[in-house]
Every structure is written in C-alpha cells, then in structure tokens.
Amino acid sequence: MAEINEKYVVKEVKIKVPWGEIALKCWNLAELPAVLVVHGLCENAGSFDRLIPLLSRQFFYVVIDLPGHGRSSRFPQGLPLDFMVYVGQLERVITHFKWKKLSLMGHSLGAHILEFFAATYTNKVEKLILIDAISPTPVPSEVFLVFHRNEMNDVIELEEVNRKPTSYTYEEAFLQVASKRMSTLTREAGKPVLDRSLQESNGKFVFTTDPRIRREIKPAIGQDVILDQIKRIKCPVLVILAKDSEQFWLLNSPGFYTRVLDILKRTHSRSAVVRVVGNHCVHNNQPEIIAPIVNGFLLDTRGNSKF
C-alpha cells in the first residue's frame, strides 16, 4: 500500500525468498533511475526516513531491510551470518526490479556490503556512496580459525539465551536502539528505526531483529584480499566521513584505512572523500548536512570533473 510522504509516494514491497521475505521501502516512481540503499548493522530501512525526503526527486530510491533486520525474514537458524551471503541477496532485489544499471548508497555495514557488490558486479553499478564507512575490518590470517570458532560459539550461545525474547516497554526499547550502538541517535532519528524493529506482545514489545546480528558481520579476510577487491571497483565513489568517527579509524589500523581511501579516490576522476560534522549516524541525526552532498554527486553527469 502506498502512502504520501511530503514529496514522495512511498510503497512497502516484499520479495519472496526461499526462507521467507525481503522487505523494501520504495520512494518515488519505479521508472526513474534506481538507487539501492542499504542500512547499517542493527538498523533497518527506517534509518533513511529522514534523509531521502531531502534528496533529488529524479531517482527511485529502494531501501532494503537486510535479512534479520526490520521486516525482513531471518536467515535460517543454526548457522553464523555470512557477509558474502548478504552481498549476494542484493542481486535478488535487482532481479525483482529488472534493473540493468543502478547507483548504490549505504551506511556502515551497508556500505561495506555495497563496496563488495560494486567490486563483483562492476558492469551494473553507476555510482557508489559510502556513508561513514571505508571498508570491513580485516581479519589477520593468524586468527582466521579463532574468528570462525568464536562465530559458531556465539550462535550456539545466542540460541540458548534467546529462546524467549526479552520484552520491553516502548521507552526501554528506544534506549536499546538509541544508546547501545557506536554513536547515539536523537529521538526523532531513532523512532523510525525502532518502529520498524518491534512487535507488540502482551502489552509490551519484543524486537524482531535476529539476535545473531549482535556480532560484527564481516568477511574473514585479511588486508591484502580486501585491497584487491576494492581495486576492482570502476564507478565514481563518494565517501562521506563523520568527524566524530575519525578517532575510530585512527585507533583501528589507520595505515590500512588510508590505503583504502587512496584506492577509492582513484577509482574514477569523479570520486571524492568528504568530511562532515557529526557522529556515525549523521545521515539520520542531521540529514540536512548529508543531503546536498549526496544530491551533488548523484546529479553530476560531467565527464571528468569533480561534483
């Protein structure tokens, strides 16, 4: 069913998949050039509810609830969540809409997924926007087996802990969403994310989110492999970094992230890195900061110049 949201017609769509459904929130008319939008870990399509109304009306924005998030079905139980499986599910969305070409925009984990998608399907991707993300954190080869052991142990532990989901009041649930994360969300920013994550149960609320996503989702590969994949990206790339997050990059392999940024800037003459005031969720907390930058990049059609 469609609703009117200021400038846009907004429609909820569900795609049937072997394990259930993938939920999408679609903004604007389907015949327009497509922008596939992917949220971060423990979020959902609601995290773009405040940004997209500020973006150009010349595009069809499709925001996915990744499996196990929002209104999308969880992946089958009993197994760890796999980063590359998430990458592959985007092809289901593209097949559903019969897109030949599209642009991509993602935040945090969603940006990492889109990076690897753009490297895999170079002929389909016209532009790539990464919001406060550079690349997945590398996993050194010497801890490869430890990584997978811990991953499986976590799955088994979570199965025991979450046989009966915890119930919350709405305010308690909001605090879970707004504060237990890399950076805080304002109430206005957190509400669309929260409302898409809850199910009412006996006067209280439980989260529909897959508990397995509490663990970081990333590929178990080292620096060299990540760099090799990033080099395969051919389209213009816009990286938007929040200044409050810079300390994270400095503390976690700063030399590696600098190398990734250098590669991303060289993918195309119109690629760029832009730093903005704000925290990791700046696109949701302060969408008015991000919107002009995204619009300038999406609307730019000049051959060999910066947007």
Residues noted as catalytic: 108
SS3 of residue 157 by DSSP: helix
Report the C-alpha gap between 23 and 73 in whole angstroms. 8
Q: Rg of the chain's alpha carbons, rounded to an integer?
A: 19
Q: How far from each other are the two terminal CA atoms of the chain, in whole angstroms? A: 36
Question: How far apart are alpha carbons 73 and 94 in whole angstroms?
Answer: 18
What is the pairing mode between strands 2-5 and 60-64? Answer: unpaired
Q: Which residues of 59-93 are buried (b: 16+ CB within 10 A; e: fewer)?
A: bbbbbbbbbbbbbbbbbeeeebbebeebbebbeeb
Whose structure tokens read 């016209």?
A: 126
CB-based contacts of 224, cutoff 8 Å, min separation 6 = none
**CB hemisphere CA count around 33 (13 angstroms):** 14
